[in-house]
Each structure stands twice: as C-alpha cells, then as structure tokens.
Amino acid sequence: MGNAKPERKVYVDYIATNPVLPAVLEAMLPYFQDVYGNPQSLHAWGDVAREAIEKAREQVAALISGNPEEVIFTSSGSEANNLAIKGLAQGQAGKGKHIIVSAIEHFSVLHAARTLEKAGFELTVVPVDKYGLVDPDEVAKSIRKDTILVSIMHANGEVGTIEPIAEIGKKVKEAGVLFHTDAVASTGNIPVNVNELGVDALSLAGNQFYGPKGAAALWLRKRLRLIPLMDGGVQEGGRRPGTENVPAIVGLGKAAELAVRDIPSRMEKLSPLRDKLIKGIPMAIEHVFLTGHPSQRLPHHASFCIEFIEGEAMLLLLNSQGIAVSSGSACTSRALKASHVLIAMGIPHEIAQGSLLFSLGVDNNEADIDYVLKKLPPIVDRLRQMSPLYAKFMKEKRG
C-alpha cells in the first residue's frame, strides 16, 4: 500500500459511466467542425445535421424494438426519468393523481415522484424483498381507480437485480394504467424490448453502453400526453426544447447500433468475470455477502456488503492500488449516506455502509479480476483491524 504507483489500473466502475468506444468517437467527430449546423435550420447545413439525428433516432429505436418517432432525446438518464415521471403524471392528471414507484428507484424517479407528491399527487412506494425484487402482485394490489402511472426500474444499478418487468407490465396494462421503466442500467447491456416488457415509456442513457455523456433518451409510446419539463423551441416535437446536442446524439446512435450487434458477445465475456468475483470474494473474505439477486442480475454487475467496514475508506484504499470501484450510485456517492436501495432490502445501516459495487466493461479481463481478488482482502483486513465494531464482534465471538 502507501503512495507507490499501483501495479495495475483496473476500472471496474462502468456503471458510474464509461469511456466511449473508438467507433463511437469516430462517428461523433465530423459533427463538431464539419457538420455543425442547427438541425432546425432551413438550409443544407441544417439538413445534414437533422439527417444525422434522425439516423440516431432509428438506431436507438432499433436497440429497444421501438419506433423512431417514439424516441425523445434528452441530456441524461436523469432527465429522461424526470420527463417521464413529471411529464406523464401531469399529462394524465385529469384522470387521477395516484402514482406508484418502487422503493429502490434511482433518485431521478423516486425524488421526482416525491416532488409530485408535494404538488398534490398521491404516491405509493412498493417494497422489495431481500434480493431487491419487486413483487408483481404487490404492484397490482397497489393500483387504484385513480392510479395514472406506475414506474418500476428494469435493473437496479446498485445491486444489479433485474426486475420482472414483463410480468409487472402485464398486470399494469390489465388495469389500464401507464407503465414506465427506468432501463438506464440495463439498456445496451442486456436485450431490452419495449413490447416484450409491456411498457409505455422507457428511459435509457448512452453512457451506460459505451456512448457519450450528454445523450440519453426517453422512449414514449405514440399519442401519450406528456407535459414537457422545459418550454422553448419545437425540437423533439416540442417535448424537449433546446438546440440538439448533435455530436452526442450521433454517438448515442452509434453506441446503440454496436450494442445491437455486440450485446450477446459482451454478456458472454463479462458474466464469467462477474461470476469469478461473486465466487472469489466470499472465498477470500469472511463476513461478506452478495447484494441483489444471485442469478437474476446484470451480466456485468457484482455487488457486496462487507461487514464491519466503512465503504468510503475501502474505496480510497482500493484507489491507491489503482482500482476504481464504487459503493453505490455515483449520483449520490458524495452524499456519503447509506444507500436507500440496501435499506429497502432490509440490510441494516451499519452493514449497508460497507457496500462495494463492481461493474465490468469490455476492456476488463481475467487479470483485472485476479488483481482485485489479490488486493481487496488485505485492505479489508487492515480496515477491520481499525474497526471498533469488528473488535466488539470478535470479542463477543470469543465469548
């Protein structure tokens, strides 16, 4: 340990965000200086920019088996979620004011719903089990006559659990209620098909599948009433004003195209590496358990709670060894609070503090995993030796 240069650099925090693939950057490059027109302009410079974003719209639609005209580009997954929750709830407010979300949603869904609650909407937050799974029957029985929107995430970015969206979608559709899913963590990493999932709206973000930051999308089934978050120009059918971020949208489109081709090979490459972590870490360290579902989880995601440890100290020591990892959502990591996801799964606060989240990407290999498995145990030992909670536990254990 110490300040020496680490032996290796291992980025296993892809879910926080990722590098763009070379082909994605290559696709973007002409749109900074050569094709720089405003897609709304009525001249050749505008025409080529507009054609570029319409091509990207087709590429994104193809990734989720939707229609291009149903894709609304946004600047982030958080914006797509806010637009879905606030825009759809306000758009349907004439029919009722009750909305349903799960307890483990990203804050861009959960807090958007809380904001609506303050504005007079009613909110039901459905619980999850110890694996982070939402029970479709729990959703069904929460639906009331005045329920206008249900939002349950496709996969949880903190614990990797994939929710039974198709089953939930069937029940929500039977009740005639709109169904949104935050598929930011899943889209581009596993197959996502809006028709098979039975959703009316779906959020995705390019920087979860080797696309650029600054480009994301809300897919929204045709003819659904949506109140925009912002007022202004006629971009995105008036549903999302502001000059289109052409290079980023082009990059998102290219990343979507590559994902359609490469999801199977990426899954095949990454799930054995994930499984090596899932098996290896509990073998190398005592008092550790996997969080999220053991099998129904993202192929690039392995998350744990390491007892008697404070997660941030662990991150810093891992960082000093060249390993980039996180203890929860990057969006809230600087808030240094125990994750609401782990708490909702019934994990006690002090154990939730020891959360550790590995998310893998195409640049990772087996040697990266070996390096993590070598470096993590002595760090955990070192931190436990300084932990009053561990000392107490060991004392009690010894009797």
Q: Catalytic residue numbers?
A: 331
CB 31 within 8 A of CB 49: yes
- Maximum distance among all alpha carbons in the chain? 82
Can you tell me which of 8, 23, 38, 175 binds a copy of itself, judged by CB under 8 A? 38
Can you tell me which of 205, 258, 259, 341 binds a copy of itself, judged by CB under 8 A? 205
Q: What is the 3-state secondary structure (H, E, C) of 44-56?
A: HHHHHHHHHHHHH
Query: Binding string, 158-197, against a copy of itself, x = CB under 8 A?
Result: ----------------------------------------
The edge-to-edge listing of strands for the beta sheet with 178-182 is 71-74, 216-220, 201-205, 178-182, 147-151, 98-102, 122-126
CB 132 within 8 A of CB 218: no
**107 lies in the binding site for a copy of itself (CB under 8 A):** yes
Which range of residues in 135-143, 160-168, 205-213, 346-354 is near a copy of itself by CB under 8 A? Answer: 205-213
Can you tell me which of 16, 101, 139, 347 binds a copy of itself, judged by CB under 8 A? 16
Helix 366-385, helix 246-284: angle, nearest 10 = 60
**368 lies in the binding site for a copy of itself (CB under 8 A):** no
Query: Binding string, 274-313, against a copy of itself, x = CB under 8 A?
Result: --------------------------------------x-
**230 lies in the binding site for a copy of itself (CB under 8 A):** yes
Decide whether 138 or 158 has the Cβ nearer to a copy of itself.
158
Decide whether 246 or 298 has the Cβ nearer to a copy of itself.
246
Beta-carbon contacts of residue 387 (< 8 Å; ≥ 6 apart): 308, 309, 310
375: helix, coil or strand? Answer: helix
Q: Where are the beta strands (DSSP E) in 229-329?
A: 288-290, 301-306, 323-324
Query: Binding string, 46-85, against a copy of itself, x = CB under 8 A?
Result: x----------------------------xxxxx-xx---
